A and B are shown apart, each in its own frame.
Chain A
Amino acid sequence: MSAQLTRRHAFVFELLGRSDYAIIGEIVDPGAKVLDLGCGEGELLQWLAENKGVDARGVEISGPKVQRAIARGVSVFQCDIDEGLADYPDGTFDYVILSQTLQETRQPRRVLREMLRVGRRAIVAFPNFGHWRVRSSMLMSGRAPRTKLFPYEWCDSPNIHFLTVHDFEDLAAQEHLVVERRYFLSGHRKVTLLPNLFAEVAVYLVSRAG
């Protein structure tokens, strides 16, 4: 398995069934120190450890998922992302990954700041709430939108902070972050036109200025 992805290609292959993982797998340098927040069962970390030789650590709140991650040999500790980074010294990691979880955190701004305190770079992947399907779902139904990307009833959804591509760009500007790379995906296709309307998932590589 490999994350075959170059900027020349309009299509993104899947890694472990996910195209955002493929991009993350491409971004991360071999041998880097990586922390994955909300790492689930540690599949991405295990792939990065085996294929990129990274020093992999993970944080996950679900006990059963932590158990399966540890059982597959990944060093994961059970903790809440909103609180879990405080103990790490500054600059501990080369990359801190937050994949499809920013919208689930209670304090996204604080999480992003903490990511860039303990890590030199942050990789943030999130579902784009500005996608046209989301907009049309809400417009047509008059109810909290439900789409492939946002499949939950409003009362069951883990998502508590919805954001769009524009919103993340604004936050990055407010926080004086350098956006080193940005990727926009619709299924396996890369989106180049009007990403806030057509991207289902956005992946950002950001760092602190200076």
Chain B
Amino acid sequence: MIVEANTVGFDSISLDSGATLAPIEIAYETYGELNAAKTNAILVLHAFSGDAHAAGISHETGKPGWWDNMIGPGKAFDTNRYFVICTNVLGGCRGTTGPASINPATGCPYAMSFPVITIGDMVRAQKMLIDWLGIPRLLSVSGGSMGGMQALEWAVAFPESVVSAIPIASTTRHSAQQIAFNEVGRQAIIADPDWNEGNYYGRNPPARGLAVARMVGHITYMSDDSMREKFGRRLRGKENFSFGFDVDFEVESYLRYRGSQFVTRFDANSYLYITKAMDYFDLATGRGSMAAALELTRARFLVISFSSDWLYPSYQSQEMVRALRSRNRDVAYVELQSNYGHDSFLVDVAEQTGLVRGFLASTFEKAQ
């Protein structure tokens, strides 16, 4: 399945911060066909470093999408049955307007003059796209990690437009630990002299800082078990220690490689803006309480967490489920056993597939 990226422009968007961003562009991809009644549309929401390319093989890069194992003919999000949409988030660097985009008022990249954005802003931008596509209600909104936060925000902010929500390995609000890891990443970027107050476009980007930020991120996405299994204490291409600070261990090599790869595809300022949006995320903000926020929802929920995920631990999903139950919402929940840590929702999809497929099928049937 070769897929092409699309972009659509809108005049402006009002942001939670009070600022207005104008104009904006939103990058998106779609898979499958929208049915005549427009009842089979599913919005898939990407995690922190994802993009609009969720499935299929990119016409442009030749690479598979970030959730290609979940989206496609016969897969969990079965494109023979459903019309699946994915967008790049506002503030991103993969086609949707973000800090690296040109500010039309100055003719230069926004850099740090880009307004601070929230998960709510990302979702309102997505709503503009869904309206523009002429889809009145989404059969489901689904994503892992930050994608799960967007799914929850959709269910609360646009209850009439969401039939079901599937937040996976996610939370209703960022914890101190989650904020702390994001802050380490941000400070690594800011401490890099090449960051230059965010004005590095057209020069050397803060590659070292961004790579370190990504290395920290990768540690939090894995588990102690999965790292032991994948790397152990194995040395990289040598029999003995180098007694120096070049790469000795496999795990060092891996992290450096992932860090250096990330720099080629991600904008450091987007890292700052998007992590901040996650840190600000709290469904209760502006809605009185978590219970009051979830009172607004009308969707069915399928909540999934993973046993070895210590970045978005199961207790956060369970809090979400308990709060939904206290409002008597239709919610299914299971903790899946997996060793892959937070990455499980991307890599360990066999059981997740059965859950999502059954949940979507019964939701679709009930909604007809």
Contact = CB atoms under 8 A, between A and B. Distances in A.
By DSSP majority rule, is chain A's interface helix, strand, loop, or mixed?
A: mixed
Contacts of B16: none
B321 A71 contact: no
Interface string B285-321: 0000000000000001011000000000000000001
A89 interface: yes
Contacts, number: 63
B325 interface: yes
A66 B302 CA distance: 12
Given A63-B337, A70-B355, A71-B357, A77 B326 contact: no
Interface in B348-364: 351, 354-355, 357-359, 361-363
B333 A71 contact: no
13 contacts: A55-B330, A57-B330, A63-B336, A67-B336, A67-B354, A70-B334, A70-B358, A71-B354, A72-B358, A73-B363, A77-B334, A88-B325, A89-B326
A189 to B, nearest CB: 36
Contacts of A203: none
Given A88-B328, A92-B328, A67 B334 contact: yes
Interface in A55-103: 55, 57, 63, 66-67, 69-79, 87-89, 92
Interface of A: 55, 57, 63, 66-67, 69-79, 87-89, 92
Q: Which 5 A-B residue pairs are closest in the complex by CB-CB distance?
A: A73-B362, A71-B358, A77-B333, A87-B325, A75-B332
Interface of B: 300, 302-303, 321-323, 325-326, 328, 330-337, 351, 354-355, 357-359, 361-363, 365
Nearest to A46: B362
A87 B361 contact: no
A41 to B, nearest CB: 11
Given A67-B351, A70-B359, A71-B357, A76 B325 contact: no
Nearest to B363: A73
Mostly, the B contact residues are helix
A77 B358 contact: no
A75 B361 contact: no
A77 B361 contact: no
Given A73-B363, A73-B365, 15 more contacts: A55-B330, A67-B336, A67-B354, A67-B355, A70-B302, A70-B355, A71-B358, A73-B359, A75-B332, A77-B333, A78-B333, A78-B334, A79-B333, A87-B323, A88-B326
B360 to A, nearest CB: 9
A89 B327 CA distance: 7
Contacts of B362: 72-74
A77 B331 contact: yes
A77 B302 CA distance: 9
B322 A87 contact: yes
A79 B362 CA distance: 22
A78 B331 contact: no
A87 B361 CA distance: 28
Nearest to A58: B332
Contacts of A73: 358-359, 361-363, 365
Contacts of B335: 63, 78
A89 B328 CA distance: 7
Contact of A70 (B325, B332, B337): B332
Nearest to A69: B332
A63 B331 contact: no
B334 A66 contact: yes
B312 to A, nearest CB: 17
A75 B354 contact: no
A67 B332 CA distance: 10
**Of residues A66, A67, A79, which shows the largest number of chain B Cβ atoms within 10 Å of its Cβ?**
A67
B328 A75 contact: no
Given A67-B355, A70-B359, A89-B326, A77 B332 contact: yes
Contacts of A74: 332, 362
Nearest to B314: A78
B249 to A, nearest CB: 34
A53 to B, nearest CB: 11
Contacts of A89: 326, 328
A87 B326 CA distance: 5
Contact of B334 (A55, A63, A72, A88): A63
